[in-house]
Amino acid sequence: AKDAMTARVVTVSPDHSVRHTARIMLDHRISGMPVVDDGGRVVGIVSEGDFLRRSELGATALSSGEARGYVKGHSWKVADLMTSDVVVADEETPIERIAVLMQEHGIKRIPVLRGPRLVGVVSRADLLRA
């Protein structure tokens, strides 16, 4: 994994706002990124798909007239949106195995760890370049 991964990874905290996270993704032209705690440990991943699901939930709250749902939808944190069950690899995981994991889990990126710490991400684009 270490030969194919992107080592300079853009991350967010579970406490970041959803709006801030969307801005980071747009500014960096990325479709997803790891969510890390203060110790650099991966606690989730957030992607465009998570934002689409959020907008569907927000539309449902609005159509049913739930003011509380509308307010909550506009103050969501990354922790409310992210996928917590993250598929990860370590630096020694072969690229072929990473490709299989992506296919099996229907995912586009896999965080790469050294021990408990994030050191990179392998995306589908990284696999094509490898």
CATH assignment of 18-129? Answer: 3.10.580.10
Comparing 129 with 92, the larger pLDDT belongs to: 92
Residue 93: its H or E element:
none
Structure confidence at residue 29 (pLDDT): 92
Sheet holding 109-114, edge to edge: 89-90, 109-114, 117-123
* Domain spans of the chain, in order of start: 18-129
Looking at residues 29-53, what average pLDDT do you find? 92
Which element (helix H / strand E) includes 11?
none
Look at residue 76 in the predicted model and tell me its pLDDT.
Answer: 83
- The pTM (predicted TM-score) of the whole model is 0.81
**Mean pLDDT on 74-86:** 88
pLDDT at 58: 53
d(CA 10, CA 29): 11
**Which residues contact residue 80 at a Cβ distance below 8 angstroms, ignoring those fewer than 6 apart?**
18
